[in-house]
Structure 1
Amino acid sequence: MKLVIFDFDGTLVDSRKLIVESNRVVFGQFGLALPSEDESLSLVGMSLELVLRRLAGADAPVEKMVATYRHVLPLLRVDPAYAEVPFCGAADLLAALAENNNVRLGIATAHVSHTIAPALERFGWQSYFCTVQTADKAPSKPHPGMLLQALSEADVKASDAIMVGDTAFDIEMARAACVRGVAVSWGYHRPDRLRGAGASRVVNDMSELRDCLFETISSASEQS
């Protein structure tokens, strides 16, 4: 049985507006210079604490900023102007995979448990995933902890798992866990950076990702 583990932001959902606006609000509250959009998005995938240390500097009140983000994000999520939006085809892909008896699904995200759960529920995706790994359960990507825990919870070997993500952090995490890393080009890191991180394949749209995953699942089923 294959385990397909998805990143969330930039892979399944477009969270660009949410990230940019939450930075504007929080950095403004603390009187800090707002980082550029490119700088902020380049760090998506890492845990919030590490991102803030890079964006705000070592002297910034990171713990207080994290607490403020935890308060701000739920408020922005209910505003249609900033809420995450599933990428076209993401919902159909997850539904098709969930119906396949030869595959199980997981999530590995930089969100913490109490922020990812409402998002999955809002999209009706919570029942799809047998394992949800978050930044409060394991070290930040690219550490392999999230994937190692997902493999253990799903009782699947690394050779029978695939990590799908949009950043080099996702792919580096996959390599560290000896899991195949498939990258998507529509997220926050450029294809050349994804290939440089060791992606086994970079797909350009949801249809290509679907073909890639089902071809791999079918091949594995035939071999078994």
Structure 2
Amino acid sequence: MKLIIFDFDGTLVDSRSLILESHRLVFPRFRLPIPDPADSLALVGKSLAAILAQLVGSAAPIAEMVRAYDLLLPQLRADPAFAESPFAGVSELLGELHSRPGLALGIATGHRSDTIGPALDALCWTHYFSTIQAADTAPSKPHPAMLHQALQATGVQAEDAIFVGDTSFDMIMARAAGVRSIGVGWGYHQVEQLRATGASCIVESISELRVRIQDTLDAIPGIDR
């Protein structure tokens, strides 16, 4: 069995509107200034608590803010203006990969299990993934525990896995876990950041990602093609 693990926000879906609107509504409730969008988006991929602590400091009421986000998230996701939107071609790619023998798919995300689950259900993607690693079951990225757990859950060795992500946190995590990494250039970090933090390669489109995944799988012995 071989394994491809995907990040979620910025890799499979565009969540920019959801993230920024969440901050716009939650921060004023705690009499905090709304963070600059660039600062907010630069932290996407980490757990929400880690993001908030970095934006406002650990002395802020982080737990209370997280609860406010939890209550707000379903409301925003119900609004098409803010719900996560798959990047063009992602659903088709996931379907193709899922249908391949000897290949499993996984997710490693800064969301908690109870927030990534509804998102995957809404996108009709849940059945694609053999393992879903989230921020409530492992330390926040870039710690490699999510990938270690995904490998353990599927019985796949690190050298037989690929991780696809859009941030430097993703690349650092993959390198620490000994997993090949593919950086995507349409997410929340610049290509230069991905390259500097260890991306094995970088792609700029879903069609290029499809080719690069195939090329990487071809370099892994033992997979049915």
TM-score (norm 1): 0.97
Q: How does 1:2-151 map to 2 (within 5 A)?
A: 2-151=2-151
Counterpart of 1:187 in 2: which secondary structure? coil
The answer to whether the Cα contact below 8 Å between 1:151 and 1:158 also exists between their aligned partners in 2 is: yes
Superimposed CA distance per residue, residues 23-66 of structure 1 (whole angstroms, 9 cap, x where no aligned partner): 01110111100100000000000111111011112321001001
Q: Which residue of 1 aligns with 2:216?
A: 216
Aligned residue in 2 for 1:153: 153
- Inter-partner Cα distance in structure 1 for 2:208 and 2:223: 23
- Mapped to 1, the partners of 2:175 and 2:74 lie a distance apart of 33
Letter of the structure 2 residue corresponding to residue 44 of structure 1: V
User: What SS class does the counterpart of residue 114 from structure 1 fall into?
Assistant: helix
Q: Any stretches of 5+ residues in structure 1 without a counterpart?
A: none
Distance 1:222 1:135, change over 3 A: closer
Aligned to 2:173: 173
Q: How much does 1:222 deviate?
A: 5.8
Name the CA distance, whole Å, in 2 between partners of 1:34 and 1:223. 49
1:201 corresponds to: 201
**CA-CA distance at 1:186 after TM superposition:** 0.1
Matching residue's letter, 1:104: A
Q: Retained in 1: the 8 A contact 2:4–2:161?
A: yes
Q: Are 1:47 and 1:135, in contact at CA under 8 Å, matched by a contact in 2?
A: yes
Q: Deviations over 1:65-94 (max 9, x none)?
A: 011111111110010110000000100000
> Retained in 2: the 8 A contact 1:22–1:73?
yes
Corresponding residue pairs, total: 224
| Cα root mean square deviation, aligned | 1.2
Listed one character per residue, the Cα deviations across residues 103-141 of structure 1 (whole Å, up to 9, x for unaligned) are: 110000000011111111111100000000000000000
Contact 1:102/1:217 (CA < 8 Å) preserved in 2?
no
Change (3 A) 1:158 1:60: same
Instruction: Give the match's secondary structure for 1:107.
Output: strand
Separation in 2, partners of 1:211, 1:67: 41
- Give the drift of 1:223: 7.6
Query: Which residues of structure 2 form unaligned runs of 5+?
Result: none
2:81 is matched by which residue type in structure 1? A
Aligned partner of residue 220 in structure 1, secondary structure: coil
Q: Secondary structure at the match of 1:143?
A: coil
- What CA deviation, in whole Å up to 9, does each residue of 1:140-177 have, x standing for no partner? 00000000000000000000001100000001000110
Please give the secondary structure, in 1, of the residue aligned with 2:172. helix
Q: Deviations over 1:169-220 (max 9, x none)?
A: 0010001100011100000000000000000001000000011112222343
Displaced runs of 4 or more, over 4 A:
221-224
Q: Return the alpha-carbon distance in structure 2 between the equivalents of residues 98 and 8 of structure 1.
A: 16
